[in-house]
Structure formats: structure tokens, C-alpha cells
Structure 1
Amino acid sequence: QIGYALVPMIARGLMLGPDQPVILHLLDIEPAAEALNGVKMELIDAAFPLLKDIVATTDVMEACEAQASALEQQAAENCKVLVVANPANTNALILKKFAPSIPEKNITCLTMLDHNRAIGQISEKLNVHASDVKNVIIWGNHSSTLYPDVNHATVTTTDGVKHVRELVADDHWLNKELITTVQQRGAAIIKARKLSSALSAASSACDHIHNWVNGTNKGTWISMGVYSDGSYGIKHGLIYSFPVTCKNGEWSIVQGLKIDEFSRAKMDVTEKELIEEKELASSCLGQSI
């Protein structure tokens, strides 16, 4: 469902830009081959000007997508990888293990969805446009332990740039309700739709790649699950969500942000979960990741 929502966005240029032609490689499992062909038919019927070709297949090697072995054997070493399937952070670590030729900085996971969810909640609370809310942070795992941090977030108003915490003026909402809402948003959408949040996940995946390739706006950052280098005391070698800026196709973790005790505790909880996931995955695979 995420793929179905994502492909027209890519074909319209929302991910890589309005002047970048694309060839879509679409992979699904064998039982879904007929449905996959139907998606290909729809893409042809939409006559997207940027869409130059479509490869729709159940052969992972033909698709050159989705699995570490295929990426290792077929993909360019400088390819950019975004892992969406849960547990996304640990899946990205597993992919890195089995695609060793791809640099660690080129393997990321999606927390931009949680980033956008936090922005959406703040914009509704303050009755402002989402585009006016900047620099929220998602720390940690794409799970129910993630921590949406608003301590550095701002809102552009008619009176200038203001801090979110100052404008909301409700620590209970910021420290309790907002965090719980963002953590449980996926489950709430499944309850409402009876299906997962495919549209918002696809849109956020587009945002993630667009920022990574084209760069973040000056003075702003986004949240990405990236390989920890030990920044902010997070264990080296985890895929952990940090605030990052992007330039020239590279991401960099934002440094020097003040972390209060409340945030430190939340960041440690989600780090602990990621360490446990890594240990479990290593045990199941019979080798360290």
C-alpha cells in the first residue's frame, strides 16, 4: 500500500524534482504478480511525462531493489537506501550487514513520518500552517518509544520566529499528550481506516529522499534514522533517529543542541530498545550485526 501511494509521487517529480526523468523498478512477491501488473497498467495510463520506463517484476535481482543481497550484487555503491518496513531501524542494520559494499552513510530508515506527525499536531494545536513549524526532532527508534522533542522547535508568526514551547504554553500537552499521540499515531490510523497509514508514509518517504538529495533549507533540519557515530552519547553502530541537515547528497547530524534531563531520559529509553532489538536480531541470524 505504501508503494502504491508512493509511485505516482515519484513519477510526478515530487521526490527527485520536476526535471528529473525516472525509471521505476517495482518488486512484489509472486502471488501479487497480477496486481503488480495492474499497477504498471495504471502508471502507463497516467502518462506521467517524467516516467521513462517501468520494470515490474517478482524477481528481486531484476528489480535490483528491497533485499540486501540484491543491493550488494546489483546496485551502485553510491546508491541511497531508505528502509521503511518495520522494525525499520534494525532492518537497516541487517541490510548493512549483508550489503557491506554500501557505505554506512548511505543506509537510512524512515522517521520523517514521525517528524511530520509531530509538526501536524503542533500546527493544529496552534492553528498555524505546517510549513511554519520547524526543527522538531524525532530521537531514536521508529516505534512506540520514539521521542518527539520540541525544545528547539520554532514557529514563524507575524510577530517573528517564536519557540513552540513558549507559544503552546502547556507543558503537560507537550510532555505527555503530544508524545503519546505521535508514538501511537500509526495505531490510531489503523483503527480509523482499518488499514495502515500508507499515504502519509509514502509522502514522508518522498520528503526524506527529496531532502537527502536536494538539501535541507538553511537553518532547518529534519529527522532521519542514520548510523550513530556516538553523537549525543548514543551507542556507536545503532541506526538511531537524529536531527540532520543535508547538503550535496550527504546528511550530517546537527551538533551542539542542549539536552535537558527529561529529553535525556526519553532518548536513553529508545536507545535501550534499539540495543535489545540489535541483540535479538543478532541472535536470530546467528551472527553479530
Structure 2
Amino acid sequence: MSGTIKVLVTGAAGQIAYSLVSFIAKGDVFGTNQPLSLVLLDIAPMMGVLNGVVMELKDCSFPLLKEIIPTDDYAVAFRDVDVAFLVGAMPRKEGMERKDLLAANVKIFKGQGEALDKHAKKNVKVIVVGNPANTNALICSKYAPSIPKENFTAMTRLDQNRAQAQIADRLGCKVEDVQKVIIWGNHSATQYPDVRHATAVVEGTTTPVQKAVQDDNWLKNEFISTIQKRGAAVIAARKLSSAMSAAKASCDHVRDWWCGTPEGKWVSMAVFSDGSYDVPEGLMYSFPVRTKPDHTYEIVKGLDIDDFSRQKMDLTAKELEEERATALEVCSA
């Protein structure tokens, strides 16, 4: 067994965390030989509920789970953590404007950035799940200047998973046989789910998705719209946000970041732009990335971008620039 790692989950009494903590504790993220210390953070009024989560985790008797630390204290929660799942945020409710969500949540992530800077390990890996995730991650990093920017990411894996599932349904193939779908940009209704470089195994043959689907009108319209609006559709149906699928996607994101992607494959993660694909440098923007077992990643370079993709990618970049400006204004107020 490896040495114990310390993993923080914020918003730990909430719906996403309720699914997430069991995935982590049973070894789905860091492997079945990795002992864990699990830190669970929530606000003081939720500590009663959080204690119930702790009771259930204990009752599960997870062999890898060596310690559970429930707390409402940032100094306790962020101390010496190796990985932080920043889930806790005000959830988007039906009819809620994105800008209102941003204003409500950005100060939370400013405070968590400060806590990471002060208490966490300097090589901590941070995934932001709470929306608006890209901009929250950017703000979190800004207020944690001693931690490398590349250690901050935001989750667009849920959008990738949704896109793969839609393509698999359309083609009648297994979801794991759909590869190299890309989510460009923001985890929002401007994101661009791109299948121009994607492949699918259909009747035993690996085929470009565009060729297999044979319907560019569907791919450029209904498919994109479905992925962009999927979160809102789940809220409309459940009257609650997409907690189970978000928990699964956050685990997928961190597992691949921690363990590395298989040779020849890539995944979508929001990371700080280095100017690749003419995306403004410094935006927290979703790219295709390859990850390595040393917990590093690199943006996949050199992919062809057509005019349709360029327009979609620029649109979501513009939204992220506007969000960044609003967030910085809120933080400095």
C-alpha cells in the first residue's frame, strides 16, 4: 500500500458529495491500494447532516478509509491536503441567471483560495465542481498565489460524458467505444462539444464519428444544444441539479489526472490557457488534455480548427472573459 493521502471534499453534506465520498472511499479515484484520510467541510448549520454522512461512511467499512475529519473550519479542512474537490457552492435553481450564481459563489472561492494558500500542500491538486466552475477556479487560483496555476482545474468532464453518451445512443454502440470527444470553453450553455476528431467503434470497426453519424445537421444543432442545456433539462425534470452524474464526472476527472490517460487518448478539462488555439492566455478554458501518472497534464496541440469550430470557441471564450471581469469586480468590492 502507498502512504495515506489527504483528500478534501467541500459542500460535504450536499447531494453531489453524498455520491462522491463513497466513490472516493472505495478506491474508484485513487486506486484500490491507496489509503485515504477524508476531510469533509461544510458550513456550521449543516454539521448535523454531515455527521450523518460520517456515520454512513463508517457503516460502509471501507478498508481504504483510515480517517474521517468532519469540520466547518477552513484551517482544519485545508491543512496539508493533497487533493481538494471544491464542490460546495450555491446550487443553480430553476430560472436562476448565471450572473446571479456567479456573484453568490465567487466570494466563497476567494476564501477557499486564501485557505489553500495558507494551509494546503503546495503541490495540492484542485478540482472545482461548484458552478460557475471555470471562473470559480480562476478566482480560487488568484487568491492562492503560492500554488502553481496548473494545479487548479475545473470540471467539464460531465459535459464530455454527456456528449459521449448521446453519440453512443445515436450509433447504438457502447459508451466506452466513443473516444476523443472534446469540450471547448466554459461549463455553460456556450460550451462547444466537438466531435470532429472523435471516433466510435461501430460493428467492430473504429470510425470517425462524423462519418458514422452521417448527419451534420444533427451534429451541429440538436446534439450541441442538447449537451449545452443538459443541466437545465435535469433540473427541470428532477427539480434538483444533476448530482449523481456530477459526482461520477468529478471522480473521472481526478482519476485520469492522478493516474494518467491511456496512450492515444485524451480527456476534457478546464485549465489555464497558454494561448493554444488562439484562446486568450490566462482564461480557465476547457481543452483536450493528456494526463500522466506523475499527476501532470498537457494540452493536446495541433488539432485542425474549422470555421464553425472557431466561431463556437471564440463565443465561449468571450463569455469567460466577461465572467472573469465580473468576478474580479465582485472580489474587489
Q: Which deviates more from structure 2 when the two are superposed, residues 152-161 or residues 124-133?
A: 152-161
Instruction: Tell me by how many angstroms 1:286 deviates.
Output: 2.4
Paired with 1:281 and 1:158, the residues of 2 have a C-alpha distance of 48
Corresponding residue number in structure 1 for 2:7: none
2:71 pairs with 1:57: yes
Q: Which amino acid aligns with 2:36?
A: V
Corresponding residue number in structure 2 for 1:18: 32
Paired with 2:330 and 2:121, the residues of 1 have a C-alpha distance of 29
Aligned to 1:108, the other structure's residue is in SS state strand
Corresponding residue number in structure 2 for 1:182: 227
Corresponding residue number in structure 2 for 1:139: 184
Residues 1-289 of structure 1 mapped to structure 2, 5 A cutoff: 1-64=15-78, 66=86, 67-247=112-292, 248-286=294-332
Q: Which amino acid aligns with 2:301?
A: Q
Aligned to 2:249, the other structure's residue is in SS state helix
Corresponding residue number in structure 1 for 2:102: none
Paired with 1:98 and 1:146, the residues of 2 have a C-alpha distance of 26
Q: Which runs of 4+ in 1 moved over 4 A?
A: none
CA shift digits 1:72-111 (9 cap, x unpaired): 1111110100001111111111111110011011000000
Mind listing any 5+ residue stretches in structure 2 that lack a counterpart?
1-14, 79-83, 87-111
Paired with 2:46 and 2:68, the residues of 1 have a C-alpha distance of 17
Paired with 2:331 and 2:254, the residues of 1 have a C-alpha distance of 29
* Superposition TM-score, scaled by structure 1 size: 0.97
Instruction: Tell me by how many angstroms 1:246 deviates.
Output: 0.4
Q: Which deviates more from structure 2 when the two are superposed, residues 62-71 or residues 142-151?
A: 62-71
Instruction: Tell me by how many angstroms 1:156 deviates.
Output: 2.1
Aligned to 2:134, the other structure's residue is in SS state helix
Instruction: Tell me by how many angstroms 1:159 deviates.
Output: 4.1
Q: Which amino acid aligns with 2:151?
A: N
Over aligned residues, Cα RMSD in angstroms? 1.0
Paired with 2:309 and 2:218, the residues of 1 have a C-alpha distance of 15
Paired with 2:35 and 2:203, the residues of 1 have a C-alpha distance of 39
Instruction: Tell me by how many angstroms 1:161 deviates.
Output: 1.2
* Superposition TM-score, scaled by structure 2 size: 0.85
The percent identity for this pair of structures is: 54
Instruction: Tell me by how many angstroms 1:157 deviates.
Output: 3.3
Paired with 2:174 and 2:206, the residues of 1 have a C-alpha distance of 14
CA shift digits 1:106-148 (9 cap, x unpaired): 0000000001000010011111100000000000000000000
Instruction: Tell me by how many angstroms 1:68 deviates.
Output: 1.1
Aligned to 1:273, the other structure's residue is in SS state helix
CA shift digits 1:190-224 (9 cap, x unpaired): 11112111111010000000000100011110000
Q: Which amino acid aligns with 1:196?
A: S
Q: Which deviates more from structure 2 when the two are superposed, residues 87-96 or residues 156-165?
A: 156-165
Aligned to 1:99, the other structure's residue is in SS state coil
Aligned to 2:221, the other structure's residue is in SS state helix
Aligned to 1:138, the other structure's residue is in SS state strand
Mind listing any 5+ residue stretches in structure 1 that lack a counterpart?
none
CA shift digits 1:37-57 (9 cap, x unpaired): 000000000101111110011
Corresponding residue number in structure 1 for 2:99: none
Contact 2:171–2:202 (CA<8 Å) still a contact in 1?
no
